[in-house]
Structure formats: C-alpha cells, structure tokens
Structure 1
Amino acid sequence: MSLLKNIPTNIITGFLGTGKTTALNHLLTQKPEEENWAILVNEFGQIGIDQAALTQSSEGVNVKELVGGCICCTLGPSLTSTLATLLRQTKPDRLIIEPTGIGHPAGIVDTLKNEHFKDVLELHSIICLVDPRSIDNIEIMEHPTFQDQINLADVIVLNKTDLASAAQITTTEQKIAGLYPAKQKQVLTTQGQIDSSLLDITHRLKETESQPQQHKHLSLDGNNANPMIGMLFQPRPKEPFHKGSINDGLHTMGWIFNPADKFSTHKLEAVLQSVKNVDRIKGVFNTDKGWNFFNQVGRELSIETIAYRRDNRIEVISQQGHDWSKFEQQLLSCIIN
C-alpha cells in the first residue's frame, strides 16, 4: 500500500434502522464517473444482507462485507486485514465504512489512525443518521453506543423526518445543537437523501467522546472463526442453512435459501409482521413479484425491488430468544414452487 496515500475516508454510522444503507445508496448515485469507491460494510448478524441491498451496478463501486459481530471488537483483527486487502485490490479514490448499527465508531477510528493506515487514509467526516422518533425511546437515548455515535459524529443527519412529529424533530434539533463541541453540520432529510458534499467535511476528533466498552461475544455454536458468508456452494431447494449468535445481549439468527426457492410475497409479509419482540428483520427474496428487499424495523415493513440474485437470505435481530425452528417452518411455508 506504499503507493496509496491520503485516501478520503468516511464513516456512516447510526443506530439500528436509521437508514444508513439507504443513505449510502443515495451517495453512490452521486459518485463522479471517473472515481473508484471502496465500500466496507459491517453487519452484526451472521448472514450478510446489506451488501445485497447496496447498488453495485455502477462502474467504480467495490463492496466488501464483514459479518458476525462488530468490527470495533469481535471482528477487530479482521478489520485490519480486510481493509488492507480491499485497498490493495481496488486502489480507491474514496473509502466509505458503514459499521453495524450497534457498533462503536471509535474503534474504527483507532484502526484508521494506526501505523498501518495513518499515511494511507485521511479521515473525513463521520456522518451519523438519527431517527427523530428515538427522542421518545429512553432505551435508545440512554444506550452507550447511541451516545458514542452522536458524540463522535461531525455531521448529524435527521432522517425519516416524514415519519416524525414536528415536536420530535424540534426537540432532537435542540438537543443536538446543545452538544459540545458543536457539530459541524446538521441536516434534515427523508429516505436517506443526503448530498455528497457532506463527505468532504474534515473530521474533527473531539476530546469529549466517550470510550466504548468491550462488547461481550458469545456464539451459539462456539465457532467465531467461520461465519456463514461467501459460501462456495448453495443450499438445496427448501433446505436452508442457518446461523445464529448472541452478541452484546442481542440475539441474531439468519438463513440462506436456494435462489430457486420462490416465495409468496403475501405470505412473507404475514409471517414477518406476525413476529413479536424483534428489533430488526432484513431479507432478500425471490418472490412471485420478482426479487425484493424486505426491511422491517419494529412493526414498519418496507419492500423494494433489488438487483441481487445470488440466493434468498434473511436476518433477524432481537433482544430475546425465539423459537427459530418454528420461524424457519413458517418461512418454508411461504415457498410456492
């Protein structure tokens, strides 16, 4: 990497379900044609979904995914090697890192400033997306990860403002305006529509950022070294693979189905909406209405068309365990061929 120097680097952070991937997709539409961008995505669960949800059809976009924990702790050693390989192979004009919604960005900043990357990468703005409705959720507001994300950010983006009340937006703006040191920029938007000029704001490291605590990690199957990604073979039709873990008190379970398995959209909607006490569900499915990306935060479910075709996959994040075998059978019942 000796020939690589001062590559503009951004971190796009935010709590679970704030719209980071949607915002990143919007930024990719603004990429100058002559530039080559490298994207490193970190997912908390064992089954990677965000890489499938990112727009990769344009030239000069190279996406790499790290799954199975937070790159600030559980996957810390993997971050250095993965990042070095990504930079060496793609020689990007810009690097953007999207950590998991429950990850502390401070650990990533430390990696970017270590002896391996301090001359190769130049940290620009850290952009944090916030859902203004979180102002009424004390569990989120008092969560140390949420507070670290806010404190470390240079730019705060209030996303999903069309779903929030005027009072929620005003109160959130006032709280952010009262932070010290002051944020360099605060913007309001919907559906992650942010301008790429935000990427060129210089990062200003703050003395007052809180220090992340070490995440505790426990894998359900005791195997942390081989998350189920990049598999060289497909599961058989109607015989999905599954992988689960417990990280930092949150349960995750993911499944990968054969791409030939076709699902009923109507049945899938009913199954996903019937699951109680889950924080997040993301999935890519070959359905009777084409390939679609299912994105559910709490009780809010959105469905969008997607270009991904490699396999069917789904990931569930919850604060408590579930009868995953029963849920798998419910998914299987949605297959129509």
Structure 2
Amino acid sequence: MYSQIPTNIITGFLGVGKTTAIQYLLNHKPVDERWAVLVNEFGEVGIDASLMGNEQQATGVFMREVPGGCMCCAAGIPMQVALSQLIRQAKPDRILIEPTGLGHPLEVIRVLQQPHYQDVLDLRSTITLVDARKLSDSRYTENDTFNQQLQVADRVVAHKADLYNGNETEQLIHYLQALGSDAPVINAIDGQLDPGWLEAVSQHNNVTQPEASHQHDHFQANDEIPECGYLRKDNQSEGYYSSGWIFSPEFEFDYSELEPLLMGIDAERLKAVFITNEGIFAFNMADSVLKVQALDEVMDSRIEVIGNEPSNWSGLEQQLLQIAARYSYFTRTEPPAPAGS
C-alpha cells in the first residue's frame, strides 16, 4: 500500500540538540510534502512533542512519541506499533526517527530492516549530532551508546560549534578514525542541518552485528492522573535515572519562582512545559544552560529530569507544588448552600 518512504535516523547523546535540529528540518521541508516524526524519550513522560508543536497536520507534520527508554527494546514492539500508526495515518513522504540520547541506534536500524518493512521503507542517511567538547570527558568516551551513535553515522554533525575553543573538530575526526568510521564531519550551530544531507543512502543497510543485551526498568505504565492532580513516573538504565511529572492543566505555576527553581536543578538534562501565570513556556536545559521558549498551547504541564544522581532532585516535587496554585471548577465557584437554607 505504501512504497519506499525515505527514512532517516537523527541520533546523538543527551542534550546535543536533536530536537532543535529536527525542528529546523521540519521548518525547511518542501511545503507540498507530509513528514512524520517518531520521537523516543528516555524518560517515562513525553516532552518532545510539546516542544516541536505536537501534530501539525495543517503544515504536513505528524508526530508520535515512544516514551520510557529505548524504543527498540522488547523486540522493537513499541517502535513498530508507533511506526505503523504513523505510516497508516500520515501517509508520509518522509519519516524522521529520533531515538533517545541513551538509545541504541544499531538496534533501531535492525528493526527498520525487518522483512515487513523492506517494501515500505527506504533507509537513508543516519545523522549523528555530537558536541565535540565531550570527547575530553570519559563519561562519554567510555559509554558504549555514545560510541555506537558515532559508529552508525553516515554523517557526523559537530554541533554547537560556536562554543568550541580550539581544535575540537579535528579531535572528533581522529576519534572517528579510531572507531573505524570514515563518516564526513560538518560543523553546525542551532540545529541548522542541510536538508540535502537526508538524501544519501545509508551505508548501514545490512546490519549483521549481534543484538545487544539490555533492558530498561519501567515503574508506571499509564498516564491516568489521580485525584491529587499530578502523576510521577521514573525510569533507570545504564547508570542514568529519570524522574518525570505530569500536572493536570488545573495547575498554574508562578513563573517568577519557577524559572530560578529550574535553573538550580543539578541534572544532566531537563525538559519541561508549564502553564504559568505569565503564559505557557517550554524549558530546555543542557550543560547547565536553561533555555526558555513561549508556546501557544499545551494539554498539561510536565517536566522530566535525567542524570546520574536522582537524589539531586529528590525535593523537586514538593518545591513544584509549593509554587503552584490549583485552579479547578470547585475552587472557582462558591460552595453550595446548606440544605434547607
């Protein structure tokens, strides 16, 4: 029914700017094409769809999220379900897949090469974003996922190049050579990827490596918010932990207290969307830099933090509740008069 949809993987480690890059590509897609985006997040609470504007059917963009770790786990079932829904509903001219920064792109490629996708998907170039400054940090260079993301790349983007101070790009080229990769390296800033880079055919169309053994622990499966008005969900894998909260839209947060609270969180990664007394805002923190963006609309408020030490945000839930007012139908109206009055 569908024939050979060009499909690209946009990968890279936590906080490297994958979402920003995909936003840029979506803003520069041909106006007459329908693009589908499949986003995977390590945390159990999906944020990226809100940051990208969720489904933008009027502009030919369709999105699905697979939260909760590596979407290729459990024989790739979560990924296959979401991907099949996108293909059926969007009938896209191109598919972009963003695995989590802690995901395993080699296994994503393996799922895409299964027989039932052979006549449907045309696997094009895998683009890996990397902050070349991280090569001086053994937490990255000794991480198998970080290295795998570079090894599967058809093109490596040295992102955030405006922040480099010296020969970081040259060091990246030498590092790739040591990994056995001859992928071209291009500097970029602010997610500005050339859409033409998507067209090259992937060099990894015949994955033969054995399947990696790994698992993610999921503590809560559904997003049904209890009567208290908020829900917490946690995840852990490969030495990283995530905590996420979803707050009913009845909660309104004090912006003047919210922003400094988020700036003070000690975490590897933070993403959030909040309904505040000054409007709706997205918050995105990487490398201890918090960026804020105004949004038009969200379904609810939610936040996800990821790092090595969950104790660093152990009091976050109580702090958020302290700066939030819950406005509901019951608190906005007068209580009913006593019977017989």
**Same structural fold, with TM-score higher than 0.5 when normalized by the shorter chain:** yes
Aligned counterpart, 1:328: 317
| Residues 104 and 212 in structure 1, CA contact (< 8 A), matched pair in contact too | no
Letter in 1 for 2:15: G
Q: What secondary structure does 1:116 align onto? A: helix
TM alignment of 1:241-252, pairs within 5 A: 241-252=231-242
TM-score (ref. length: structure 2): 0.88
Deviates more, 1:161-170 or 1:119-128: 161-170
Deviates more, 1:321-330 or 1:28-37: 321-330
2:40 is the counterpart of 1:51: no
* Residues paired across the two proteins, number: 324
Aligned counterpart, 2:201: 202
State the Cα RMSD in Å. 2.3
Q: Quote the sequence identity (%).
A: 37
Q: Distance in 1 between matches of 2:42 and 2:232?
A: 15
| Residues 113 and 205 in structure 2, CA contact (< 8 A), matched pair in contact too | no
Q: How far off its partner does 1:12 sit?
A: 0.3
Mind listing any 5+ residue stretches in structure 1 that lack a counterpart? none
TM-score (ref. length: structure 1): 0.88
| Residues 45 and 245 in structure 2, CA contact (< 8 A), matched pair in contact too | yes
Query: Structure 1's 311 and 75: CA in aligned 2 closer, same or farther, altered over 3 A?
Result: farther
Aligned counterpart, 1:266: 256
Q: Distance in 2 between matches of 1:207 and 1:91?
A: 26
Q: Distance in 2 between matches of 1:324 and 1:175?
A: 34
Letter in 2 for 1:326: G
Cα-to-partner distance string for 1:153-183 (whole Å, 9 max, x where unaligned) = 1011111112221232332244336653411
Cα-to-partner distance string for 1:107-135 (whole Å, 9 max, x where unaligned) = 11111110110111010000000012111
Aligned counterpart, 1:284: 273
| Residues 132 and 168 in structure 2, CA contact (< 8 A), matched pair in contact too | yes
Mind listing any 5+ residue stretches in structure 2 that lack a counterpart? 327-341
Q: Distance in 2 between matches of 1:203 and 1:59?
A: 27
Deviates more, 1:153-162 or 1:166-175: 166-175
Letter in 1 for 2:186: V
Q: Distance in 2 between matches of 1:281 and 1:81?
A: 27
Q: How far off its partner does 1:210 sit?
A: 6.6
Q: How far off its partner does 1:88 sit?
A: 1.4
Aligned counterpart, 1:301: 290
Aligned counterpart, 2:229: 239
2:191 is the counterpart of 1:188: no
Cα-to-partner distance string for 1:217-239 (whole Å, 9 max, x where unaligned) = 223x4x5xx243xx5xx666x73
Q: What secondary structure does 2:167 align onto? A: helix
TM alignment of 1:1-337, pairs within 5 A: 3-55=1-53, 56-57=55-56, 58-74=58-74, 76-176=76-176, 180-183=180-183, 185-205=184-204, 213-219=212-218, 221=219, 223=220, 226-228=221-223, 231=224, 239-276=229-266, 278-322=267-311, 326-335=315-324
Cα-to-partner distance string for 1:258-298 (whole Å, 9 max, x where unaligned) = 2242223332222223233x211110012243211111124
